[in-house]
Every structure is written in C-alpha cells, then in structure tokens.
Amino acid sequence: QVLLAKRKCDGTFYAVKVLHKKTIIKKKEQNHIMAERNVLLKNVKHPFLVGLHYSFQTSEKLYFVLDYVNGGELFFHLQRERCFREPRARFYAAEVASAIGYLHSLNIIYRDLKPENILLDCQGHIVLTDFGLCKEGMEQEETTSTFCGTPEYLAPEVLKKQPYDRTVDWWCLGAVLYEMLFGLPPFYSRDVSQMYDNILHKPLQIQGTKTVAACDILQGLLHKDQKRRLGAKTDFLEIKNHVFFSPINWDDLYHKRITPPFNPNVAGPADLRHFDPEFTQEAISASITHTPDLAASSSSASDAFLGFSYAPTEEDI
C-alpha cells in the first residue's frame, strides 16, 4: 500500500510505501527489501529515480518515505491513449535509459522495467520506482540466474533459466518502447505459455509506418541473443549513440532542460486525477494498532530487518 503523507513541520508531501513484515518473511523476501532500501539510498543523486527520504519500522510494518510523484503511471497514460507518437516515446525511453544507465554504473541491474514502474512527475518527466527486484554487485561481465520479472517483459535468457547479465534491462527497455509505439508488449498473448513461446521463438513483428531508426532500435534491443543485443558491448553508451536518439541532447535531458512532450497539468499535490480510483479510494489501515493475523514475532522481525531504518544526516539534506 502507498499512502500520501504531509510532513507537519513544513507541509512537504511524501509517498509512504507500507509493507507487512509477516508477509515479507513468509515469502522469504527480506533480502529483496534490504536491496531495495540500499538501492533507494543510492538513487538520490539521479533526476529520473525516485528518492528515499526516510525508512522506519514498527513491530509489524516497514515504511519507505519517498518522493511524491503525481503525474500518474506511464501504464495509466498508455491505457488512456493506447499508444504514443514517436517523439513522445523517444523522450520517455531516453529518460528511462538514462536512469538504467546510472544504475548499471553502480553495478546494479533493475530487472523489472515495465510501464507500471515508470511514473510521471508534475512536469511530465519520468521517475523510475520500485527497486525490489534489483540485483547489486553486477559488474560488466557478471551474470545471475534468478527467475524474476513480469511475464510480458521477460527476456528469452531469463525464461530459459540461463545466466543473464545487464542486457536484460535493455531487452525490457525495448519491450516498453515497443508498447509505447504499438499499444501492446512485443510478444503479447493472453495465454502466458503462448506468450513465453512467442518470446523464445517468434520473430519480432513491426507493423505500420514507423521510422527506420525506430525499427532498427527495436530490432537491436529485442534481439533474442543477449550477446548480440544492443547494449551488449558498451552498455548505455551504445543506447545513447543509436540514431533513434540522435534528436536528444543527453546533457540537456539529464538536467531537465528539455520540455516534456506531455504536461500532466496537475493543480497541486492533492490532485489525483492521474491515479486509478481503485487505488485512491482504498481504505487506509491503521498504522500502529495491533493486527494479530499480520503481526510477526517481534524478535524474528527485528532480526530480519536489522539496519532497515534510515534518516538523513544534516550533510545529506
């Protein structure tokens, strides 16, 4: 659950992500949560990654206090508009690539890029969020083999349960770019097993009147062989230098000097028009009252989440 909160001393709005300890322990996801916290602490210096301000815990729950972003999920806007024109899709893909490239420079792979994890801020810039599946310590040639991600965006090597590297993130970027341009992920089927078969064996189909550059980058990012995929040789540098992104000045992009192609036109922090009412009308559970069915034993919960809490020092502020 994500709550909207306001700091009493200065009226600053934050998003508060609430997690139940017992659920995390039951699913054996303690390491994922601690990895998410560690990655969030590194993100503060990048314009397109959500920032962590505080993290704290009670006997039952964990709390991440994050940047509040109310331009809506990219998923929400895609559902409403079906697909985007090429300049708009390029802008979002460039900001996402910049964020992924930064994570890779810290030897972190993201592993869960999808429109639901890409938010728009009040000006229309992207903010990448949800770092629960990130893998730290991934050097340039390093591989891992954990099966994780979201079905529509899984790379072939992940499906095959083969060792994979940073290029899984570039596959996902290709899948998201394809969805922005065509309205559906590249190998989509309602039947998940059929979709997996499509990802593994079906050639990429690019229909309609897209530019040569758009077709080429999609073919490069969605190459089924990770060693021949765009980004396999020089990582983010290859993506930056592709002709599809030639209209982008990357320094201007990083410093948000490029006007976003879409302005969410939010009236203020309380403007929730870009969120699905399913979420905004959800009941808020009490934070501190005891909930027997969700309470973890305090000793095991404390041991499982040692070092979770964080508050910035004066130097960080």
CA distance linking residue 63 with residue 20, whole number of Å: 9
Q: Are 48 and 126 in contact (CB under 8 A)?
A: yes
Residue 276 catalytic? no
Q: Residue 127 in contact with residue 121, Cβ under 8 Å?
A: yes
Q: Are 312 and 53 in contact (CB under 8 A)?
A: yes
Question: Residue 73 corresponds to which amino acid?
Answer: E
**Alpha helices (H) along the chain:** 21-26, 30-42, 74-81, 86-105, 156-159, 167-182, 192-201, 212-221, 236-240, 250-254, 277-280, 298-304
The values of phi and psi at residue 56, to 5°, are: -150, 170
The Cα 216–Cα 274 span in angstroms is 33
Whether 313 and 42 have beta carbons less than 8 Å apart is answered as no
- Looking at this protein, which amino acid is placed at residue 175? A
Rounded CA gap, 177 and 143, in Å?
25
- Residues listed for the chain: 317
CA distance 125 to 104: 21
Name the one residue in this structure whose structure tokens are 């729950």.
61
Residue 295's SS3 state is: coil
- Please identify which of the residues 112, 130, 165, 169 carries the catalytic annotation: 112
- Give the contacts of 2 (CB within 8 A, at least 6 positions apart): 15, 16, 17, 18, 279
Q: Which residues are catalytic?
A: 112
